[in-house]
Structure 1
Amino acid sequence: MQASFPIGVFDSGYGGLTVFKSMVEQLPQYDYVYLGDNARSPYGPRSFDTVYEYTWQCVQWFFAQGCPLVILACNTASAKALRSIQQKNLPQLPDPSRRVLGVIRPTTEIIGRYSQTGKVGILGTKGTVTSDSYPIEIAKFWPQLHVYQQACPMWVPLVENNEHNSEGADFFVQEYLQQLMAQCPDIDTLLLACTHYPLLENKIRQYAAPGTRIVAQGDIVANSLVDYLQRHPEMAQRISTGGSRRFFTTDDTRSFDEQASVFYGAAVQSQHLDLHVAE
């Protein structure tokens, strides 16, 4: 049996599937493993230490599956755990050539291309907003941009409870957009800094000012991965090319499969993972 060295894709729940979908579309030849830590989601309200602990535990599981590269397709994990994992954990591994990448840097590298006014709004979870990761990273690439942030704590529960198309969702979409625009009415670009939020894009567009650019991360992260593998052929050569996709969840597989298909745009058949057993 041929050895499998897949790309690992991680999220606290379902949202990372919007990024995973774009990755598979652009790089269909590779093997992939997706893990949603649904039993412990949402990560957004949790402390830095807890998000780091959960994320590193899941990353170690990916490494045990043979993954040489893991993508944190989760803004909260990227904001609260990625740097610690890259700086503290990876250098101590028996194989320090393994890599863990996130979704924040690829987005911040290009966000300035979208804005005409130089005013950008970040819509994210409480954890992502509190971390200030986006303003810090954007300042490195686009120091002239003015960045405004708005936490949207009700959006992930709405999406994960399949209420994102309901009338009840309108209230919370409108409320958070109004709070953001009150900070600066000249914002012309909205970054959906949570991988769940593309499912709310139609409603966000409905209540945003006409002409506002709404930027989702899926294609941006996928494009960045294509570029990364071109620049690092030694990594690309390590990833197996069987075209397989495996899905795991730390929660109930039946409910995961039903909900995941909405994010992924195709049928999903997952396996249950007990992380306490996997440790």
Structure 2
Amino acid sequence: MVKNKPIGIFDSGYGGLTVFRSIFEQLPQYDYLYLGDTARAPYGNRSFSAIHEYTWECVQKMFAMGCPLVILACNTASAKALRTIQQQDLKNEDPAKRVLGVIRPTAEVIGNYTQTKEIGVLGTKGTVQSGSYLIEIDHFFPELKVYQQACPLWVPLIENAEYDKPGADYFVKEYLDQIMAQSPNIDTILLACTHYPLIQDKINAYLPKHIKTVAQGDIVAKSLVDYLQRHPEMEQSITQNGTQQFFTTTDDTADFDVHASMFFNAPVKSQFVSMKG
């Protein structure tokens, strides 16, 4: 018998913890369950079908662990799996359960940050190739010009704790030079991967001072606050004991805890959960 009904927060690895941190700061009263599919990370270069399979499997696991609401705090999973989960997979589940992503709430507000109406989007190869941000931003801000740049080496650098070493600077500057070469009028850059806040200061150091970088944590947290206000039936189904549980699909939980604590900016003590894949 499951007692807690926590908000589930999913990521392929550690990046979703930057979103979780912002959510917990704004909504500390709820119970939370975080699941990082670190055994199969990174998702960025995987196919649509693989990402959907892995993401849906993890979402089902979180449902079974008591979560009525799951946030895909991963841009790649949001880009490549969320639509299928929402439109097809959930039909066979409890109709009260919900799965939300990070792309739509970001697209709803990103146009408010720019003066030139030209923005850059930095993300994984999977997120960029999906075109999800181009589609979603166009729904809310059709006047914007959006330029994208895949940064395939950033997640490995961050997850291996190499991001603050001199060798990482080359790859940070390389991708920033590539996106800025697309237009001199870009004045806002969206960090469309939840890992990237860990190198936001380094990114800012290689950009002109007038360019704003936008991380997603606070945006997603504010969107969740609004969602729960608009859906009292969901809000009332979530238990409020202020608890946090962390799970990883890697059996080396000690290693996960070291990395996760860096992303969450607080000590993390995780448990192993097995997946079939």
Band of TM-score, shorter chain: over 0.9
Matching residue's letter, 2:26: Q
Q: CA RMSD in A?
A: 1.1
What is the alpha-carbon distance in structure 2 between the residues aligned to residue 46 and residue 189 of structure 1?
28
What is the alpha-carbon distance in structure 2 between the residues aligned to residue 2 and residue 81 of structure 1?
27
Q: Deviations over 1:14-35 (max 9, x none)?
A: 0000000011111011000000
Write out aligned runs for 1:177-192 (5 A). 177-192=176-191
Matching residue's letter, 1:49: S
Q: Deviations over 1:236-261 (max 9, x none)?
A: 00000011100000112011000100
The equivalent residue for 1:146 is 145
The equivalent residue for 1:59 is 59
Write out aligned runs for 1:235-254 (5 A). 235-251=234-250, 252-254=252-254
Q: Deviations over 1:54-112 (max 9, x none)?
A: 0000000011011110000000000000000000011221x111000000000000000
What is the alpha-carbon distance in structure 2 between the residues aligned to residue 2 and residue 203 of structure 1?
43
What is the alpha-carbon distance in structure 2 between the residues aligned to residue 10 and residue 242 of structure 1?
20
What is the alpha-carbon distance in structure 1 between the residues aligned to residue 209 and residue 2 of structure 2?
53
Matching residue's letter, 1:160: E
| Seq. identity, % | 66
Matching residue's letter, 1:217: Q
What is the alpha-carbon distance in structure 1 between the residues aligned to residue 92 and residue 258 of structure 2?
39
SS at match of 2:108: helix
Q: Does residue 215 of structure 1 match 2:207?
A: no
Deviation at 1:2, TM superposition (A): 8.1
Write out aligned runs for 1:164-183 (5 A). 164-183=163-182
Matching residue's letter, 2:231: H
Matching residue's letter, 2:140: F
SS at match of 1:5: coil
What is the alpha-carbon distance in structure 2 between the residues aligned to residue 7 and residue 65 of structure 1?
11
The equivalent residue for 1:130 is 129
What is the alpha-carbon distance in structure 1 between the residues aligned to residue 167 and residue 22 of structure 2?
29
What is the alpha-carbon distance in structure 2 between the residues aligned to residue 274 and residue 10 of structure 1?
15
The equivalent residue for 2:71 is 71
The equivalent residue for 1:259 is 259
Matching residue's letter, 1:226: V
SS at match of 1:195: coil
What is the alpha-carbon distance in structure 2 between the residues aligned to residue 87 and residue 60 of structure 1?
15
What is the alpha-carbon distance in structure 2 between the residues aligned to residue 166 and residue 202 of structure 1?
13
Matching residue's letter, 1:5: K
SS at match of 1:183: coil
Matching residue's letter, 2:242: G
**8 A Cα contact 2:2 2:66, kept in partner:** no
SS at match of 2:194: coil
Matching residue's letter, 2:205: Q
Q: Does residue 270 of structure 1 match 2:270?
A: yes
**8 A Cα contact 2:2 2:65, kept in partner:** no
What is the alpha-carbon distance in structure 2 between the residues aligned to residue 257 and residue 122 of structure 1?
30
Normalised to the residue count of structure 2, the TM-score between the two structures is 0.98
Write out aligned runs for 1:47-126 (5 A). 47-93=47-93, 95-126=94-125
What is the alpha-carbon distance in structure 2 between the residues aligned to residue 2 and residue 136 of structure 1?
39
Matching residue's letter, 2:129: T
Matching residue's letter, 2:98: R
The equivalent residue for 1:11 is 11
**8 A Cα contact 2:19 2:220, kept in partner:** yes
What is the alpha-carbon distance in structure 1 between the residues aligned to residue 241 and residue 142 of structure 2?
43
What is the alpha-carbon distance in structure 1 between the residues aligned to residue 33 and residue 25 of structure 2?
15
Q: Deviations over 1:126-184 (max 9, x none)?
A: 00000000010000000000000000000000100101111111100100001101111
Deviates more, 1:1-10 or 1:198-207: 1-10
What is the alpha-carbon distance in structure 1 between the residues aligned to residue 243 and residue 104 of structure 2?
27
SS at match of 2:247: strand
The equivalent residue for 2:28 is 28
Could you list the runs of 5+ residues in structure 1 that have no partner in the other structure?
A: none
